[in-house]
Structure 1
Amino acid sequence: MSTTTREWHLAARPHGEPTPADFRLVETELADPADGQVLVRTTAMSVDPYMRGRMNAGRSYAAAWELGEPMQGGAVGEVLQSRSDRVPVGSRVLHGLGWREHAVVDASQVVVLPELEGIPLTYHLGVLGMPGLTAWAGLFRLAEFHEGDAVFVSGAAGAVGSLVGQFARLRGASAVVGSAGTPEKVRWLTEELGFTAAFDYHDGPVRTSLAAAAPDGIDVFFDNVGGEHLEAAIGALRLHGRAALCGAISGYNTTEAPPGPRNMMLVVGQQLSLRGFIVGSHTDLRPEFQEAVAGWLRSGELVARETVVEGLDHAVTAFLDMLRGANTGKMVVRVGG
């Protein structure tokens, strides 16, 4: 017996900023799961900056979405049918076939989620999921954070950046500085998340705002934005400073390659370490990350905020809004259940 469902397809590859016309909502029929598969009803799905790259053809660290085919991404949901002893009916699971109401998934490709009292299921898409692990790996492994370091986070009010700053604070940073795109986000960083200082990057040159917020310089930079932020951070890093380069959202919709930082000789003179990374190469850190973060959530020491959009129909709007910085914390689309 088949299941009638809806799913978002990529209709066109954008040139520059994506538009709603690049997507199409399609009704389809799903066959029952075969041996070793499960049928999952989506509870919520994630929209993330890296998905912009999946709209493009060509080589990238994440496979391109195919035209006329369903898109993919992180999702959580409930198992309705199972042909696997490992994943029983009723399980709450995490999988990679988001952007749809239902999915037939190989049981080997789902993670059965534990029941964590007081912790919403959607947190497995954010603070306990890929964004959280990204923050953890970038700060502690790539940037080699040490107690007493002064840290600067670009895009600090987003899903990853808001956690980087808090992880640094909880592990004894001497200062945590963040950039954000609105006065409201700046206040959230300083008044609720415990950042030492924050600034709105629209208020003037980033280098000027960073110098005012961290007059003695920084030891660690976690970059989600690139461009002007990266150049400013290179200028502010102290001797032997370290940077974890996670993303460059400022250039995701450009039609020509943006110019690189103009002060790269400081990397040599200051003996800096700039390391790009992909979170999928650091999944061995997941157990220690989840144990620490779950404890901080239960104790109330860590703040996790979600921007929730209701309904699969509005998933594209949520995605486009996220690329424009409309979210505070993790952007999640609640699909059903």
Structure 2
Amino acid sequence: MSPTVVPAIPAVHREVRLADQAEGEVTAGHFMIAEVPVPVPGPGQVLVRTRVMAVTAAMRTQMTKVPLPMPSFVPGQALWGAAVGEVVAAPGGGFTPGELVHHPYGWREFAAVDESRVRRLDRDALPTPAAHLSQGATAWGALRRAAEVRPGDTVFITGAAGGVGSLAGQLARRMGAGRVVGSTGSERKAARLRAELGYDDTIVRGAGPIERQLRRAAPGGIDVLLDTVGGEQLPAALAVARPDARFALVGALSSQLGGSGGALTPLELDTGLIITRRVTLRGFGLHAHPDLPREWTEEFGRGLRDGSLSFPHTLLQGIEQAPQALCELTQGRHIGAVLVEL
């Protein structure tokens, strides 16, 4: 096999900066594209050329003034997020130019990254570099480790058309679930979830009370909830929970994409139901499971190659499309992951 050819490093590159914090709808005016010198890696760092970056709903929340349990984006500075790229310089010797890596500094064409924050990727593990940016590891870990899906379970997945939900329905079915129900924001998306992504039935936000729709879709109740949304869907799921139901909570899209400017709104739950039905509520975050990405990559690679799993995603071209990608995501225009190829 011939050695990887590493292109010459240019003097300048582009990065997307936050122009202003967002209080309402996100528009292109909240971003600006700056041309700046390519960073020089310091001791213990590598220089990475970004090839593909992810755009996620959490980024909408990070654009606000609301205090968050995560760092917020700063006006005048570049945004950041999961990305896949190639090492182009490694002065510390821990990496080799040409290696494919995962790093946390998308939204820029080049990034100087501490070696401890770079994860080496196998080029042959998945069919495309973009597949390394699926949110399937969160779905896989939440369903296997937090909710412990069992054969015959009825599983309810909120935000089923998102990056996590579009894979979670397929994975619940793969784990032996007897019935899989998902929520989404339109009948157009609901039809695709039922036809292509492992869902037996769907509920549509805005088409009537969530609890009533859920009782119709899961008349025997639910055993598992994978919640990416929060809001009114969580108490609705609790109302139809079977004894010993397991709830895995991974996100709060209803706040991140809603009209509250990203504020995380407190939610009232019926503690009597939680106690009498012995419902387990467990928060799940991928950061607490560093072994999961490798486990998920092996499972995902097998599924993609044998056709038992699909990777719904939208791939926009060029860093200048990144602001539009986030705007479209907040408008609910896509199914699956939203990615930008640089």
| TM-score (norm. length: structure 1) | 0.91
| Rounded Cα–Cα distance in structure 2 between residues aligned with 1:204 and 1:155 | 16
Which structure 2 residue ranges, 5 or more long, are not aligned?
A: 1-8
Q: Which moved more, 1:65-74 or 1:27-36?
A: 27-36
Deviation per CA, 1:1-32: give whole Å up to 9, x if none. 87201111122222233333322211111243
Q: Which amino acid aligns with 1:86?
A: G
| Rounded Cα–Cα distance in structure 2 between residues aligned with 1:179 and 1:196 | 11
| Rounded Cα–Cα distance in structure 2 between residues aligned with 1:291 and 1:311 | 29
Residue of structure 1 equivalent to 2:138: 134
Residue of structure 2 equivalent to 1:274: 281
Note the C-alpha offset of 1:148: 1.7
Matched, 1:291 2:295: no
Q: Which moved more, 1:290-299 or 1:258-267?
A: 258-267
Note the C-alpha offset of 1:257: 5.8
Q: How does 1:209-288 map to 2 (within 5 A)?
A: 209-252=213-256, 253=258, 254-255=260-261, 258=265, 260-261=267-268, 263-288=270-295
Equivalent pairs, count: 331
Matched, 1:191 2:195: yes
Q: Which amino acid aligns with 1:33?
A: P
Q: Which amino acid aligns with 2:274?
A: V
Which structure 1 residue ranges, 5 or more long, are not aligned?
A: none
Residue of structure 2 equivalent to 1:97: 105
| Rounded Cα–Cα distance in structure 2 between residues aligned with 1:4 and 1:332 | 23
RMSD: 2.0
Q: Which amino acid aligns with 1:266?
A: L
Q: Which has the higher contact order (CA 8 A, sep 6+)?
A: 2
Residue of structure 1 equivalent to 2:336: 329
Q: Which moved more, 1:74-83 or 1:41-50?
A: 74-83
| Rounded Cα–Cα distance in structure 2 between residues aligned with 1:246 and 1:8 | 27
Matched, 1:160 2:164: yes
Identity %: 38
Note the C-alpha offset of 1:66: 2.3
Residue of structure 2 equivalent to 1:69: 77
Note the C-alpha offset of 1:124: 0.6
Deviation per CA, 1:241-285: give whole Å up to 9, x if none. 111111111122415664624644321222211122222112233
Q: Secondary structure at the match of 2:155?
A: strand
Is the alpha carbon distance of 1:259 and 1:82 closer, same or farther for their aligned partners in structure 2, counting shifts above 3 Å? closer
2:148 aligned residue (144, 154, 169): 144
2:318 aligned residue (307, 311, 323): 311
Deviation per CA, 1:74-95: give whole Å up to 9, x if none. 1112222332433211122211
Residue of structure 2 equivalent to 1:179: 183
Q: Secondary structure at the match of 1:202?
A: coil
Q: Which amino acid aligns with 1:195?
A: Y
Residue of structure 1 equivalent to 2:59: 51
Q: Secondary structure at the match of 2:291?
A: helix
Residue of structure 2 equivalent to 1:38: 46
Matched, 1:88 2:99: no
Q: Which amino acid aligns with 1:96?
A: P
Q: Which amino acid aligns with 1:155?
A: G
Residue of structure 2 equivalent to 1:113: 121
| TM-score (norm. length: structure 2) | 0.90
| Rounded Cα–Cα distance in structure 1 between residues aligned with 2:315 and 2:209 | 32
Note the C-alpha offset of 1:119: 1.0
| Rounded Cα–Cα distance in structure 1 between residues aligned with 2:10 and 2:341 | 24
Q: Which moved more, 1:65-74 or 1:288-297?
A: 288-297
| Rounded Cα–Cα distance in structure 2 between residues aligned with 1:304 and 1:37 | 32
| Rounded Cα–Cα distance in structure 1 between residues aligned with 2:60 and 2:221 | 33
Deviation per CA, 1:280-326: give whole Å up to 9, x if none. 11223333332222212221111111111222112111112212221
| Rounded Cα–Cα distance in structure 1 between residues aligned with 2:336 and 2:124 | 21
| Rounded Cα–Cα distance in structure 1 between residues aligned with 2:294 and 2:107 | 27
Q: Give the conservation status (yes or no) of the 8 Å contact 1:180–1:186.
A: yes
| Rounded Cα–Cα distance in structure 1 between residues aligned with 2:224 and 2:264 | 26
Note the C-alpha offset of 1:42: 1.5
Q: Secondary structure at the match of 1:203?
A: coil
| Rounded Cα–Cα distance in structure 2 between residues aligned with 1:180 and 1:257 | 20
Q: Which amino acid aligns with 1:164?
A: A
Q: Secondary structure at the match of 2:32?
A: strand
1:300 aligned residue (304, 307, 313): 307
Residue of structure 2 equivalent to 1:12: 20
Note the C-alpha offset of 1:34: 3.2
Is the alpha carbon distance of 1:118 and 1:71 closer, same or farther for their aligned partners in structure 2, counting shifts above 3 Å? closer
Q: Which amino acid aligns with 1:175?
A: R
